[in-house]
A and B are shown apart, each in its own frame.
Chain A
Amino acid sequence: MSAVVDTVTRAGQTPEEAQPWAELGLREEEYARIREILGRRPTTAELAMYSVMWSEHCSYKSSKVHLRTFGDLPHSEALLVGMGENAGVVDVGDGYAVTFKVESHNHPSYIEPYQGAATGVGGIVRDILTMGARPVAVMDSLRFGRADAPDTARVLPGVVAGVGGYGNCLGLPNIGGELLFDDCYAGNPLVNALCVGVMRHSDVRLAKAEGVGNKVVLFGARTGGDGIGGVSVLASETFDATGPATRPAVQVGDPFTEKLLIEACLEIFAADLVTGIQDLGGAGLSCATSELAAAGSGGMHVDLDTVPLRDSTLTAAEILMSESQERMCAIVEPAKVEAFLAVCARWDVLATVIGEVTDGTRLTVDWHGEQIVDVPPRTVALDGPVYHRPMARPADLDALQADLPPITSTDLRADWLAVVGSPDGADKSWVTEQYDRYVQGNTVLAQPEDAGVVRIDESSHRGIALALDGNARFARLDPYVGAQLNLAEAYRNVAVSGAVPLAVTNCLNFGSPEEPEVMWQFAEAVRGLADGCRALGLPVTGGNVSLYNQTGDVPINPTPVIGVLGVHADVRTRVSGGWQAAGETLLLLGETRPEFAGSAWASVVHGHLGGLPPQLDLAAEQALGGLLATLAAGGLVGSAHDLSDGGLAQALTESALRYGVGATVTVAGDPTAALFSESVARAVVSTSDAAAVLAAAREAGVPVTELGTTGGEALVVEGVLELPLAELHTTWSTTLPALFDTPEAVTGTRPAGAVPTGAVPTS
């Protein structure tokens, strides 16, 4: 233990004492501002709180000025709770509300793939739970370096096992996501996890501490030394050799405890035992207490000696900073504390009263009988620094956009197999088989479908659809258009299932905001997403920003991952993407132009990235979406599959291999464009009533091309090529197992203890 506790009194008496603000990631002017706010130097514990709450991860200090754009979008009737809470809440009808959000856990997943990914799932699930909702499904959007790079064999199997290991143990079906590879992610994989939860309108909970005398209850796991990042710097202030050992900065997950926490919380909500609730994620207790207090009347007192610990040698600052997982903080009326603790006891969840809501506007923390924190909580949680970072259009962008892709295939058959057999295009079963898609018994569609669909009411058959999309090649070529193209793709993926798109979330993965070119990409993507949402009439319900993603000095391609939520009035009319019957007519909805810039074909076959991304047409997306909903509701189509990465070739392959039904098609015009162009606002449908579909398409103003007929043991493009399904299946399905299916890849070859220590960005 530290010989001297750095109390508020002591801080006032020793203004000149040197403090490690720079090591904690604070800038000189930020440290000066903390001293100005407090009228003295901060105590060690206060410095820890400010440093972590004013970090990029918690304060959004570089992104805030741009994200405000989302708040300017027109009011949406569907939005019950908007941005700023743990997750936005959307009205999906019949008195049901849905909350959904994506969060990144990129950097921890590179350091320690299994735990990084697992705790990423755990964190987003608690965010959803905090809103009062029962979590009902998860999705994951993953990016890794080149598939055959040695380090990908270390990172990918661990990440997949971590996503599965945690989500499976919580009993949450994994209903879809993305898996893509690119060199730019070699030293910085992306692990974005989505969770969606369902509740009744009346059950929405908010994170605020109100009511003087109400108790602050910490419940869930004990607090340990895991997940303490920059704060480990402070441990050097402890001179005693018996102090806690330096531990990995990546948290360790315990999904079993989280499962108990979920059940306990739902029982607590049902019995109306809390007035406010917040999960403990990044910045741990510092974040939860300061945010709860700041959102309420402001006053809170916490006695840190009451916090249950795994390690009694932790310092006060470490307890305040610890990111130990599976913890929640609730504000409970004194008369309800006993009932609250009883529910926790029934679920074997440890729960402890650690403080109370006070009058006044200060957050105070005591430790060993002395006051070590006395701050206005708003200054910690809400009034962090805000930067208008310099921006500059990337110097290489003109040259990149002028570097046009090839437009003609010299071997359509070989190119087809190359695209669908590439790691991006190949069968993802190796990954998705590690995820439970059946648990809870409400999964109507899951991967490999374009969207995940979950039933939320067994008697009314109401349900929701979700898709996540984040094409980074398009965003690299033009981040403004790229973000909108991702929005359009997610919108289309939800629409092909027959759902009506309703709301948008996002996870914005970019490089360092201190690079003007990255900041420009970020601002452009945000502007694009806001404009796209305005055009489609959809609200942004919240989101997450992950910056400082780079491999060495090279930033990742801008990767705005966009999630779209849709509603099914009756999930029994959902449409899946596979052909189930021979003799159906195949129709291509939408218009195809020769657009290859940023396409999978240009990337896989030519190693090319350049030009301008496909032309965006949100009006056409809306027309197509409306048509698909009409077709689904009328039961007019047997299948529907969107066209995106890999174009028509990829879509036909996936639809055929799903149930082993081939097709014979004809393509008009240039076959390279017909098969590999990635023009937007397109989908292929199969139908036994072509006349009805044609009439509906005419009504909706959607162009239609008749492609051919399902049936047979091959995909035949008349006069162009023939691909037996067996050959196609082998090419498509063996790629990932060949790369990753070894026990060595599961356990990893990196020796134990090789985990880097020190500061790890927490997003």
Chain B
Amino acid sequence: MRIGVITFPGSLDDVDAARAVRLAGGEAVALWHADDDLAGVDAVVLPGGFSYGDYLRAGAIAARAPMMRTVVAQARQGLPVLGICNGFQVLCEAGLLPGALTRNSHLHFRNRDQGLLVERADTAWTSSYEQGQTIVVPVKNGEGRYVGSDADLDALEGEGRVVVRYVGGNPNGSSRDIAGVTSADGRVVGLMPHPEHAVEVLTGPSVDGLGFFTSVLTGLVAA
């Protein structure tokens, strides 16, 4: 199975996402923001980082890259897409996911090992988990506070589209402790924490993050 990882100018965790794909048993394919051809990949990861230096708004410029036009079109056809941190911001800016990520309530960049409650274990990216499972993966962001209008957040929760929620402390002031959300069809997932940094005992706080990548590979094999 081939999973594309898009590199934008300023992407940082692209090598980490590719490593996670490999450790999960997939083939990582490097994709370049200025191209518009997905090279036949079966799913796409938008990695963390500071695309375009977070200038204008985090993710706003990358969301308009040629490759993103293709991703948006393919996602609407069911292509599995995972946005991590800056990738989540790009997905929100591209209109694939609702809501917005704003400056952390305490105004600091914050990096810590974070507990997450998995509320949806049936999306393309979380099927390896049990619903209600708690996992620990790193969170690290300066603009990770998820916000939306009360009506939109009510609707999101009503439709069960919150995929992961912060537990044991909210690291950035996100509304309703929301850490990640999914599209209506469960194929597109965005989250601020970094599952790709929790894939090896040697370098991560756990290997809890590997499930995101095994989920999509398992789903693709089944399909």
Contact = CB atoms under 8 A, between A and B. Distances in A.
A441 interface: yes
B177 interface: no
Interface residues of A, number: 37
A572 interface: yes
Interface in A421-466: 429, 432-444, 455, 458
Interface in A737-753: 741, 743, 746-747
Interface in B6-35: 9-10, 12-13, 15-16, 19
B109 A165 contact: yes
Given A255-B53, A443-B203, A455-B202, A438 B10 contact: no
Contact of A256 (B13, B19, B55): B55
A441 B106 contact: no
Contact of A438 (B19, B142, B197, B202): B197
Given A254-B53, A256-B53, A438-B194, A571 B107 contact: no
A164 B109 contact: yes
Nearest to A432: B111
B203 A171 contact: no
Contacts of B109: 161, 164-165, 168, 433-436
A171 B11 CA distance: 8
B166 to A, nearest CB: 15
B111 A438 contact: yes
Contacts of A439: 12-13, 16, 48, 140
A433 B108 contact: yes
A581 interface: no
Contacts of B107: 743, 746-747
A746 B107 CA distance: 8
Contacts of A347: 9
**A161, A260, A436, A440: residue with the most chain B Cβ atoms closer than 10 Å:** A436
Contacts of B106: 741, 743
Given A169-B50, A256-B53, A438-B140, A444 B111 contact: no
Given A168-B109, A256-B9, A347-B9, A436 B140 contact: yes
A706 B189 CA distance: 53
Interface string A166-183: 001111000000000000
B176 interface: no
Contacts of A438: 16, 111, 138, 140, 194, 197, 203-204
Contact of B53 (A161, A164, A169, A443): A169
Interface in A10-26: none
Contacts of B54: 169, 256
B69 interface: no
A441 B203 contact: yes
Given A433-B111, A746-B107, A440 B15 contact: yes
B78 to A, nearest CB: 30
B108 A746 contact: yes
A441 B108 CA distance: 22
Interface string B177-208: 00000000000000000101101101110000
A259 B53 CA distance: 9
A256 B197 contact: no
For chain B, the bracket of interface size reads: 20 to 34
Contacts of A170: 12
A170 B10 CA distance: 8
A747 B103 CA distance: 14
A148 interface: no
A444 B203 contact: yes
A441 B52 contact: no
A444 B202 contact: yes
Contact of A161 (B108, B112, B196, B202): B108
Nearest to B22: A458
A348 interface: yes
Interface string B105-145: 01111111000000000000000000000000010101000
B49 A171 contact: yes
Contacts of A171: 12-13, 49
Given A169-B10, A433-B111, A743-B107, A256 B52 contact: yes
Interface in A248-299: 254-257, 259-260
Nearest to B18: A441
B50 A441 contact: no
Contacts of A437: 111
Contacts of A257: 53
Contacts of A432: 111
B110 A441 contact: no
B20 to A, nearest CB: 8
B57 to A, nearest CB: 14
A441 B16 contact: yes
Interface in B199-223: 199-200, 202-204
Given A169-B53, A260-B9, A571-B202, A441 B196 contact: yes
Contacts of A444: 202-203
A168 B50 contact: yes
B203 to A, nearest CB: 6
A99 B10 CA distance: 24
Contacts of B108: 161, 433-434, 746
A572 B202 contact: yes
A168 B16 CA distance: 15
B110 A434 contact: yes
Contacts of B110: 433-434
B26 to A, nearest CB: 16
B198 to A, nearest CB: 9
Nearest to B194: A438
A170 B138 CA distance: 18
B9 A348 contact: yes
A437 B109 CA distance: 12
A441 B197 CA distance: 6
A436 B53 contact: no
A442 B203 contact: yes
A441 B140 CA distance: 13
A256 B16 contact: no
A379 B200 CA distance: 54
A65 B218 CA distance: 66
Contact of A455 (B112, B142, B203): B203
A432 B49 CA distance: 18
B10 A259 contact: yes
Nearest to A257: B53
Nearest to A438: B197
A571 B202 CA distance: 8
Nearest to B11: A171
A443 B12 CA distance: 14
Contacts of B197: 438, 441
**B52, B106, B140, B196: residue with the most chain A Cβ atoms closer than 10 Å:** B140
A348 B199 CA distance: 33
A435 B142 CA distance: 10
Nearest to A747: B107
Nearest to B17: A441
A41 to B, nearest CB: 45
A427 B107 CA distance: 20
Contacts of A436: 109, 111, 140
Interface string A662-677: 0000000000000000
Contacts of B199: 441
A433 B203 contact: no
Given A256-B50, A443-B203, A435 B9 contact: no
A438 B16 CA distance: 9
14 contacts: A161-B108, A168-B142, A255-B53, A256-B9, A256-B10, A256-B53, A257-B53, A433-B111, A433-B112, A438-B111, A438-B194, A438-B203, A441-B200, A455-B203
Interface of B: 9-10, 12-13, 15-16, 19, 48-50, 52-55, 106-112, 138, 140, 142, 194, 196-197, 199-200, 202-204
Q: Top 10 A-B pairs ranked by shortest CB distance?
A: A256-B53, A171-B12, A441-B16, A438-B197, A169-B50, A434-B109, A746-B107, A438-B138, A436-B140, A433-B110
Given A256-B55, A432-B111, A441-B196, 6 more contacts: A169-B10, A169-B53, A433-B112, A434-B111, A441-B13, A743-B106
